[in-house]
Amino acid sequence: MTPGGAGLALSWADTVPDVTAAPLPTARVVLDSAGRAPVLPAAREAYLAALDEGWADPRRLHSEGRRARALLDGAREAVAALVGARTEEVDLAPSHTAALHGAVRTVARGRRRVGGTVVASAVERMAVLDAADLAASESGGGTRVTVPVDRSGQVDLAAFAEAVAAPGVSLAALQHANGEVGTRQPVAEAHAAARAAGVPLLVDAGSSFGHVPVGAAWDVLTLDPGDVGAPPGVAVLVTRAGVRRSPVGPADEDRWFPGGVAVPAALAAAVALQHADARVRAGDDDRAALVDRVRSRVAGIRLVDVAGPAAHAERLPHVLTFSCLYVDGEAVVTALDRAGFAVASGSACTSATETPSHVLAAMGLLSQGNVRLSLPRGTTAADVDRFCAVLPGVVADLRRAAGAGDL
């Protein structure tokens, strides 16, 4: 406080808690990049440059506002080129969750005269399933039809085709690949079935784009730039011409996502997506072999269940989930964090409610003691070997502490 109590003089460091009392191990290995990958240097540079050139409100008519608008439109144009769409079909959302919510609710509302039913696979993100429930309730008579999956996590195509062909379906949703277990879905076949029924298909490619080719089998598409190294604050929603949508909130100049997004974040998102797409096209990715390496070592631990398909063509190259019986997933994550490894737990949709993973439950798999890996670009064989060397001891110690040490 300044003399006389006139005010406060704070730096940014004064506003955050002190975490230096318990320093992290110096050799950290990050194996959790889902939705929040390390920021790419090129995306960081684009963000910082746009802070100087695109700080103004892009809705203003002065020169600074027009410059910001040009940068924002350029970001949308760049994203459109990546997915084979027109610039006017690309909307920028403040988060991937907002993009999914907006896609489901605005399409369902736009097609409410057709009916209020939303078809979705059992392993969609909770953002999609919750939005489908809300959209169905808002229709005044619709419902959410959930299509089952097999033990690998792949949707039952016959059941999906039957569901979308039923009367009153406003929208169908099928993720391109599952971000928890890595399973890729037959989106081309599902899109053909939906098109035959006259139903638009929402494809969530938030876990896929930048890791595998996404293709053109979609009517509505979402992307998550944060998953490939963009700073947080922008996601992508693309809607093909001809798909009817209707806003669900108060009128705003940005009618799909009122208030718009920050121009620097939009430019950084476009740059990150461009870099990720280029790496996919170049085939520059050895993470599938690293996942195979972890998969084989994990399978050697007693009472551990590895989820998802093993074949490279059927899964994302960088994702792996496994479950350890007689241990808690959050406890494994915490113990590994202390040992220098950043991983996630697939044992809960939200750790606050401790709800078991709906994805693993839908697959009929063990939902106890889950650990999810999503390897960022740059992960090395030495990184995964260190992880595989530490993991058995962590699991054994936790089982011992839980009274199951004789396993």
**Three-class DSSP category at 157:** helix
Question: Which residues participate in catalysis according to the annotation?
Answer: 349
Residue 32 structure tokens: 């959790």
Beta bridge partners of 118: 144, 171
Whole-angstrom CA distances from 221 to 139, 202, 273 are 23, 6, 14
Alpha-helix runs per DSSP H in 84-125: 96-110
What's the CA gap between 347 and 366, in Å, rounded?
Answer: 9
354 DSSP 8-state letter: T
Residue type, 229: G
Phi and psi at residue 111, to the nearest 5°: -110, 25
Sorted by sequence, the CB contacts under 8 Å of residue 241 that are 6+ apart come out as 86, 89
At a CB cut-off of 8 Å and minimum separation 6, what does 86 contact? 80, 241
In whole angstroms, give the CA distance from residue 58 to residue 286.
Answer: 41
Q: Assign residue 149 a region: left if phi > 0, alpha if psi is -120 to 50, beta otherwise?
A: beta
Rounded Cα distance, 268 and 78, in Å: 11
Could you tell me the two tokens for 89?
A: 């079909």
The C-alpha angle with vertex 333 and arms to 131 and 407, in degrees rounded to 5, equals: 115
Helix/strand/coil percent split, the chain, to 5: 40, 15, 45
Q: Which residues pair with 291 in a beta bridge?
A: none
Cα angle 319, 324, 330 (rounded to 5 degrees) comes to 75
In DSSP terms, which residues pair with 90 in a beta bridge? 238
What gap in Å lies between CA 377 and CA 172, rounded to an integer?
32
Distance CA 34, CA 206 (A): 9
Distance CA 340, CA 29 (A): 6
